[in-house]
Structure 1
């Protein structure tokens, strides 16, 4: 099965660590990172899609994708 996640968060080191953690667990970057500015909070937010192929399992909507 092929899994998809979209990681989001403030543009800070914690976001980079979340993406790095996903990459080290076998996820691959999918497309370019996205950025948006929240003027009310005066803060930049990031998003990055990641995908992962898992052999021998079938998709189930109740699964926690981050644990695969």
Structure 2
């Protein structure tokens, strides 16, 4: 499964992690999300289109850094 590595500056707590996970899994229910609020790093293993995933995260209020 392809892996997407993202930096999400607004990721700061467990609630943020849940929101990012839900946004990813709305596009790909099998997506595996690992997120670390202390480093703002998110790794998502998913078959979803990366552009669609970035758009979904942005819509959820967690835009990835370019």
Greater fraction of residues in strand: 1
Greater fraction of residues in helix: 2
Q: Is TM (by shorter chain) over 0.5?
A: no
TM-score (normalizing by structure 2): 0.42
TM-score (normalizing by structure 1): 0.42
Bigger radius of gyration, 1 or 2?
Answer: 1
